[in-house]
Amino acid sequence: MAVRNNRLTAEEYAQHFSDIHPPFETRDAAMVDANRCLFCYDAPCTKSCPTGINVPKFIKQITTDNIKGAAFTIFSSNIMGGGCAKVCPVEKLCEGACVYNLMEEEAIPIARLQRYATERAIAQKWQLFERKPGIGKKVAIVGAGPAGLSCAHALSREGVDVTIFEKEEKGGGLMTYGIAAYKVTPEFCCDEVDFITSLGGIDIQYGKVLGQDVTLTELQQAYDAVYLAFGVGMARQLYIPGEQLEGVVDAINFIYDIRNSGYPAVPVGDQVAVIGMGMTAIDAATQAKRLGAKEVTLVYRRTQQEMPCTEAEMNIALLDGCKIVWLAAPAEIRGEEGRVTQLVCHAVKLEADAGGRRQPVITDEKIVLPVDMVIKATGQMPFEQLIHDCQLQHNNGKIAVTDNGVTSINGVFSGGDCVNGGKEVVDAVQAGKDGAKVILAYLLEGGNARNSL
What is the contact surface with ligand SF4 in residues (CB under 6 A)? 37-40, 43-45, 55-56, 98-100, 108, 110
Q: Are 431 and 401 in contact (CB under 8 A)?
A: no
Shortest distance, CB of residue 54 to ligand SF4, whole angstroms? Answer: 10
Q: Toward ligand SF4, which CB reaches closer, 108 or 144?
A: 108
Shortest distance, CB of residue 151 to ligand SF4, whole angstroms? Answer: 28
Q: Are 122 and 146 in contact (CB under 8 A)?
A: no
Q: Return the amino acid letter for 59.
A: I
Shortest distance, CB of residue 164 to ligand SF4, whole angstroms? Answer: 34
Q: What angle do CA 69, 75, 81 make, to 5 degrees?
A: 120
Beta bridge partners of 413: 227, 406
Q: Toward ligand SF4, which CB reaches closer, 35 or 363?
A: 35
What per-residue string of b and e applies to 97-131 under the rule 16 or more CB within 10 Å gives b?
bbbeeeeeeebbbbbbbbbbbbbbbbeeebebbeb
Q: Toward ligand SF4, which CB reaches closer, 62 or 199?
A: 62
Q: Toward ligand SF4, which CB reaches closer, 37 or 322?
A: 37
Torsion of CA 22, 27, 28, 31, to 10 degrees: 90
Contacts of 94 (CB under 8 A, 6+ apart): 45, 46, 48, 49, 53, 55, 88, 110, 111
Shortest distance, CB of residue 46 to ligand SF4, whole angstroms? Answer: 7
Task: Give the separation between CA 343 and CA 334, rounded to whole angstroms.
Answer: 6
Q: Could you give the C-alpha distances from 431 to 110, 151, 213, 276, 403, in angstroms and in order?
A: 22, 8, 26, 27, 10
Q: Toward ligand SF4, which CB reaches closer, 52 or 308?
A: 52
Contacts of 423 (CB under 8 A, 6+ apart): 417
Look at residues 332, 340, 331 and name the one whose alpha carbon lies nearest to residue 267.
Answer: 340
Shortest distance, CB of residue 41 to ligand SF4, whole angstroms? Answer: 9
Shortest distance, CB of residue 431 to ligand SF4, whole angstroms? Answer: 24
Q: Toward ligand SF4, which CB reaches closer, 38 or 265?
A: 38
Q: Are 23 and 116 in contact (CB under 8 A)?
A: yes
CB 347: neighbour CB atoms within 10 A? 16
Q: Toward ligand SF4, which CB reaches closer, 98 or 164?
A: 98
Shortest distance, CB of residue 66 to ligand SF4, whole angstroms? Answer: 17
Q: Toward ligand SF4, which CB reaches closer, 55 or 374?
A: 55
Q: What angle do CA 164, 168, 172 make, to 5 degrees?
A: 65
SS3 7: coil
Phi, psi torsion values for 168, nearest 5 degrees: -85, 180
Shortest distance, CB of residue 97 to ligand SF4, whole angstroms? Answer: 6
Q: Are 95 and 108 in contact (CB under 8 A)?
A: yes
Shortest distance, CB of residue 33 to ligand SF4, whole angstroms? Answer: 10
Q: Are 93 and 426 in contact (CB under 8 A)?
A: yes
Shortest distance, CB of residue 40 to ligand SF4, whole angstroms? Answer: 3
Q: Toward ligand SF4, which CB reaches closer, 62 or 438?
A: 62
Half-sphere exposure at residue 107, Cβ-oriented, CA atoms within 13 angstroms: 20
Shortest distance, CB of residue 27 to ligand SF4, whole angstroms? Answer: 19
Q: Toward ligand SF4, which CB reaches closer, 20 or 99?
A: 99
Beta bridge partners of 332: 344
Q: Toward ligand SF4, which CB reaches closer, 76 or 114?
A: 114
